[in-house]
Amino acid sequence: MKKDLLKLLDLSKEDILHILDTADQMKYSLKHGIPHRVLEGKTLAMIFEKNSTRTRVSFETGMYQLGGHALFLSGKESQIGRGEPIEDTARVLSRYCDGIMIRTYAQDEVETLAKYASIPVINGLTDFCHPCQVLADLMTVREKMTRLEGLKLTFIGDGNNMANSLIVGALKCGMKAAVACPEGYDPDPAVLDFAKGFGRDFTLCRDPKEAAANADVMVTDVWASMGQEEEKAKREKSFAGIYQVNEDLMRLAHEGCMVQHCLPAHRGEEITAQVFEAHADEIFEEAENRLHAQKAVMALLMGNAGVNA
């Protein structure tokens, strides 16, 4: 494993599976009251330049359960908001803490932070990707379907941070990935370039019905992500009525097809209330698995005594 978790493109298939296996152990330990305080006395700094519910609570709770402590730094209230260079923040936090989690806009900022920090840096979402979320998604799929290899994952909607990480994560784990998005909203070119190497296991199309055919896992996300609030009306015009996970689309998928949504969800936009509620158990399991997957990431990157200490 590398020092940091910046994007799934940096991880090997073995790295991803090692995190998922460790996450399963973390979940088992927590549910069975088995001590797993492998980060006793360690501290995680959490920098948030965007809103969050799940990421903040799961990292903070996870760190506590591992025997450590997490501290919240708001982008606005810290000196980051007043323009202190990220290179300096990296070197300062490295003197106090044992790891940094950051949620921000540009992927470059996270890469620079990691370059200048001597401690592990974990990406808690950028405009480019959402690796922790997709580790939790893969964990949830493997839990329910008992495997990843050979399954078809379909993403309907904006070629955003979630689409980027899902494509990379799914393909690396031996899944097929199909994406349907409107023209002008394709996934990142670096991700499409990576996907090219997987031949027919990856498809990108405009028609959700085509992408949904024989899906084993159906995933969607908001049409306008954080930071795109001003484009909301324009985006609605491009997505509305077409790029929605609804009952008609689900009928084209394999029987028993799962639904995943990173949340927050906009019912009536990218997903109908009916489909959301029919798959609520899977979606909230996915949210829960953020905790276990991130504890695994923190234990593997920040721990020095193994996950069973």
The binder of 53, among ligand NVA, ligand CP, none, by C-beta within 5 to 8 A per type, is: ligand CP
Nearer to ligand NVA, 161 or 260 (CB): 161
Q: Is there a catalytic annotation at residue 254?
A: no
Number of residues that bind ligand CP (CB under 6 A): 8
Q: Please select the residue that binds ligand NVA; options are 111, 221, 269, 270, rule is CB under 6 A.
A: 221
Active site residue 133: yes
CA-CA distance, 257 to 220, in Å (whole number)? 13
User: Is 267 a known active-site residue?
Assistant: no
Q: How many Cβ atoms sit within 10 Å of the Cβ of residue 196?
A: 9
Task: Quote the tokens at residue 167.
Answer: 């494509």
Q: How many residues bind ligand NVA (CB under 6 A)?
A: 9
The yes or no reply on residue 263 touching ligand CP (CB under 6 A) is yes
With tokens 């890469």, the residue in question is 111
| d(C-alpha 161, C-alpha 139), whole Å | 18
Annotate each residue in 160-179 with x if it binds ligand NVA (CB under 6 A) or - if it does not, as one string. xxx-----------------
CA distance 271 to 285: 18
Nearest approach, Cβ of residue 209 and ligand NVA (Å): 23
245 binds, among ligand NVA, ligand CP, none (CB under 5 to 8 A by kind): none
- The total number of residues written for the chain in this structure: 309
Find the binder of ligand CP among 1, 21, 52, 285 (CB under 6 A): 52
Give CA–CA dist 77/69, Å, rounded: 20
* Nearest alpha carbon to residue 260 among 223, 289, 230: 289
CA distances from 75 to 50, 133, 170 (A): 8, 21, 32
Contact window for ligand CP (CB under 6 A) among 17-25, 52-60, 149-157, 177-185: 52-60
Helical (H) or strand (E) element with 203:
strand 202-205
CB 226 within 8 A of CB 185: no
**What's the token pair of residue 51?**
């809103």
* 130 assigned to active site: yes
Among the listed residues 55, 65, 154, 225, the single contact to ligand CP using CB under 6 A? 55
Site residues, ligand NVA (CB under 6 A): 125, 160-162, 221-222, 225-226, 262
Q: Where does this chain bind ligand CP (CB under 6 A)?
A: 52-55, 125, 133, 262-263
**What are the residue numbers of the active site?**
103, 130, 133, 221, 262, 290
